[in-house]
Amino acid sequence: MQRLVILVSGRGSNLGAIARACRDEAWPATIAAVISNRPDAAGLALARELGLPAVALDHRAHPDRAAFDTALADAIDAAGADWVVLAGFMRILGEPFVQRYAGRMLNIHPSLLPAFPGLHTHRRALDAGCTLAGATVHFVTPTLDHGPIVAQVAVPVRPGDDEASLAARVLVAEHRLYPQALRWCLEGRVRLRDGGIVAEPGLERGRFVDPAAG
């Protein structure tokens, strides 16, 4: 059994999607801990409801970023993590932390990277007149939202979309994408080697889905 540690800061809907897939598809993996830098995060409450070990690690209780990163690494290692899964984790992680989990730490970002790293992705996609939006699962590297891409999903931008409607459409697609991409990594079907992706031939790592079309 591979041990997953999932890091959340907010609502935790991707955590929920991963936990369901892990259980329903009987992955050879277990969620060893869910850790949040926000003690009041809904994602932490969800973890408890799901019966998962939930750890609050308030970043405000640490004097600086390095001290928080050290405490976070201690908590992750105490859980015996094989994989670190960022699911709406809103803290920037320092380089030593990122190097420690190189090749076994994933993130999901709500844009078609390398477009729109950082915040407010949906607003920026709308402002730019994009006709497609989407989400990306990538290995985490020291540069924010820039790591090698495991998988992507594209969804249409519709006339009349606002930030909320577009975010909702992308989120539905995220909930399909993240469990799938994570599972590929757990199974070794997608790996990081020499800073690049090695993927099993034939894997459909990029997809277009239209949630309205079912």
What are the catalytic residues? 109
CA-CA-CA-CA dihedral for 193, 141, 12, 30, to nearest 10: 40
Going by their DSSP bridges, the two strands 149-156 and 105-109 should be labelled as unpaired
**Shortest separation between residue 92's beta carbon and ligand GRF, angstroms:** 13
- Binding segment toward ligand GRF, per CB under 6 A, in 7-15, 26-34, 61-69, 181-189: 7-15
214 is in an annotated binding site: no
Indicate whether 147 belongs to the interface with ligand GRF (CB under 6 A). Answer: no
| DSSP label at residue 43 | H
- Binding segment toward ligand GRF, per CB under 6 A, in 9-17, 75-83, 125-133, 182-190: 9-17
The answer to whether 175 and 139 have CB atoms below 8 angstroms apart is no
Going by their DSSP bridges, the two strands 190-193 and 196-199 should be labelled as antiparallel
Distance from the Cα of residue 85 to its chain's centroid: 6
Indicate whether 152 belongs to the interface with ligand GRF (CB under 6 A). Answer: no
Read off the tokens for 17. Answer: 């999607």
Q: Which is nearer to ligand GRF, 38 or 205 (CB)?
A: 38
Indicate whether 59 belongs to the interface with ligand GRF (CB under 6 A). Answer: no
Binding mask 66-85 for ligand GRF (x = CB under 6 A): --------------------
Sequence-ordered list of residues with C-beta below 8 angstroms from that of 24, at least 6 positions apart, any chain: none
- Binding segment toward ligand GRF, per CB under 6 A, in 11-19, 46-54, 125-133, 198-206: 11-19
CA distance 59 to 33: 17
Give the footprint of ligand GRF on this chain (CB under 6 A): 8, 10-14, 43, 87-88, 108-110, 135, 171, 174
